[in-house]
Amino acid sequence: MAVQKLPIAKAINESLRTALETDPKVLVMGEDVGKLGGVFRVTDGLQKDFGEDRVIDTPLAESGIVGTAIGMALRGYRPVVEIQFDGFVFPAYDQIVTQLAKMHARALGKVKVPVVVRIPYGGGIGAVEHHSESPEALFAHVAGLKVVTPSNASDAYWMLQQAIQSDDPVIFFEPKRRYWDKGEVDTEAVPADLHKAVVAREGTDLTLVAYGPMVKVCLEAATVAAEEGTSIEVLDLRSISPLDFDAVQKSVEKTRHLVVVHEAPVFLGSGAEIAARITERCFYHLEAPVLRVGGYHAPYPPARLEEEYLPGLDRVLDAVDRSLAY
C-alpha cells in the first residue's frame, strides 16, 4: 500500500528498504546496524533481508566508517552510513570535512562521492552525555556538504530517498526524540524539492522558522498563540545547507516578524545565519530584530536539566511576545 501511517523511525527504515531494493549499489553501514537493527531499530530487519554484504556491521571506528564509505563511493556504491549518536560523529569529522566534502571539487567534478551520513540528533530523550547534541552548524558551515533534517514521517521517507539519490554527500540529521511520532507516508507521492522549506502552518503576524525536532514545538506554539489571537506562520526549513532563504524572506515580507528556533546553541548556530541574511534581505520589512531561541553556550546539560536547556513552548512564546512587542 502506498499510504501508511508510520513513526519516523519506521519511515526511515522503509526508505532504506526501498533504496536497497531499487538500487543494488546502495549499502547501509554502521555500528550495530545488522542483527540489532541499530540502537534505535531504524535498520531493523534490513540485514536479514539484504544480507551482510549490503547491510554492514562495521568496526567501532567512525573515521573508518566514513573513510571506507568514501572508498566504496569511488568504486560506484552509494553508502548510507549511520553514526550511532550525534556526539560520536566527531572522530569522523576529518574524513567528512577534508575528504567527503571536498573530493568532488578536488577532482574538478571527475568523481562523485554520494555518501549519506545519517545522524540521530538532538536532545529530549533523557540520555547521558554525547547523546543529545545538535551539531548541524558544524557541517553546514562546510562547503561541499548538504545538510538536511526531516521533521515528520513523510519527509523522513522522501528526503532520505532524495539524499540517497543525490550525487552530493548529504548529512542527514534525524530528530531522534521524534522517532516514534507517527505520520502519513505516501510512497507514491511526488515529494517536494529536498532543499526547499515548506510552510507547516500559515499565519500572518509572525514567522517561526524551525527544523527537525523543533517544528513540533513551533506548531504547538502557533496553536497556543492562535488562541490568544496571534497568527503565526511556521516554516519547516528541512534543509540547512542549502538554506531556503527565499521561502523565509517571502514569509517575513508578509509577517514582518521572525523568530528562529533550534536546539543547537544560539551562538553561531544556524539561526545566526538566518538572522543575518534575512535582515539583509528584509531590512525595511522587519518590525523587530530577528530573535533566536536555542541552546545555551554550555555543554549539553545532564538529562534532569535538559527541559530547561531545550527550547520549549514557553520560551518560544516568550520570544514571540518580545518580537511582537517591538
Partner 1 sequence: MTVDSAASTGAARTPRKRTAASKTAKKSPGRTAAAKGKSDLVQLLTPEGERVKSTEYDTYVADITDDALRGLYRDMVMARRFDAEAVTLQRQGELGLWPSLLGQEAAQVGSARATRDDDYVFPTYREHGVAWCRGVEPENLLGMFRGVNNGGWDPNTNNFHLYTIVIGSQTLHATGYAMGIAKDGADSAVIAYFGDGASSQGDVAESFTFSAVYNAPVVFFCQNNQWAISEPTEKQTRVPLYQRAQGFGFPGVRVDGNDVLACLAVTRWALERARAGEGPTLVEAFTYRMGAHTTSDDPTKYRADEERVAWEAKDPILRLRAYLENHTDTGAEFFTDLETESETLGRRVREAVRGMQDPDRMAMFEHGYADGHALVDEERAQFAAYQASFAEEGA
Ligand X SMILES: Cc1ncc(C[n+]2csc(CCOP(=O)(O)OP(=O)(O)O)c2C)c(N)n1
Binding stretches for a copy of itself (CB under 8 A): 63, 87, 90-91, 93-94, 97-98, 101-102, 105-106, 129-130, 137-138, 140-144, 241, 265, 267-273, 275-277, 279-280, 283, 288-292, 296-299, 326
Active-site residue, 141 included: no
Number of CB atoms found within 10 A of residue 21's CB: 11
**Does position 106 bind partner 1 by CB under 8 A?**
yes
For the CB of residue 144, give the shortest distance to partner 1 in the complex, in Å. Answer: 6
Task: Classify burial at 181, counting beta carbons within 10 Å of its beta carbon; exposed 0-12, middle 13-18, buried 19 or more.
Answer: middle
**For residue 209, which of 290, 96, 154 has the smallest C-alpha distance?**
290
Among the listed ranges 14-22, 100-108, 181-189, 212-220, the one in contact with partner 1 (CB under 8 A) is 100-108
Task: Classify burial at 288, counting beta carbons within 10 Å of its beta carbon; exposed 0-12, middle 13-18, buried 19 or more.
Answer: middle
Residue facing ligand X at closest CB distance:
88
**Does position 166 bind partner 1 by CB under 8 A?**
yes
Instruction: Give the x-and-dash track for 283-302 against partner 1 (CB under 8 A).
Output: -------------xxxx-xx
> 237-267 burial string, b = 16+ CB within 10 Å, else e?
bbbbbebbbebbbbbbebbbbbbbbbbbbbe
Determine the size of the site formed for partner 1 (CB under 8 A): 79
Choose, by CB under 8 A, the member of 12, 46, 73, 171 that binds partner 1.
73
**Does position 84 bind ligand X by CB under 6 A?**
yes
Let me know the angle formed at the C-alpha of 29 by 28 and 32, rounded to the nearest 5 degrees: 115
Q: Which is the catalytic residue, given 104, 130, 131, 141? A: 131
DSSP-derived letter for residue 98 is: I
270 is in the binding site of which of partner 1, ligand X, a copy of itself, none (Cβ under 5 to 8 A by kind)? a copy of itself
Task: Classify burial at 91, counting beta carbons within 10 Å of its beta carbon; exposed 0-12, middle 13-18, buried 19 or more.
Answer: middle
223 is in the binding site of which of partner 1, a copy of itself, ligand X, none (Cβ under 5 to 8 A by kind)? none
H-run or E-run covering 263: strand 258-265
**Does position 31 bind ligand X by CB under 6 A?**
yes
For the CB of residue 185, give the shortest distance to partner 1 in the complex, in Å. Answer: 24
**For residue 155, which of 1, 3, 11 has the smallest C-alpha distance?**
11
Provide, for the chain, the percentages of residues in helix, strand and coil under a 3-state DSSP scheme, each rounded to the nearest 5. Answer: 40, 20, 40
**Does position 60 bind ligand X by CB under 6 A?**
yes
H-run or E-run covering 325: none
**Does position 134 bind partner 1 by CB under 8 A?**
no
Q: Which residues bind ligand X (CB under 6 A)?
A: 31, 60, 62, 84, 88, 91
Catalytic residues: 131
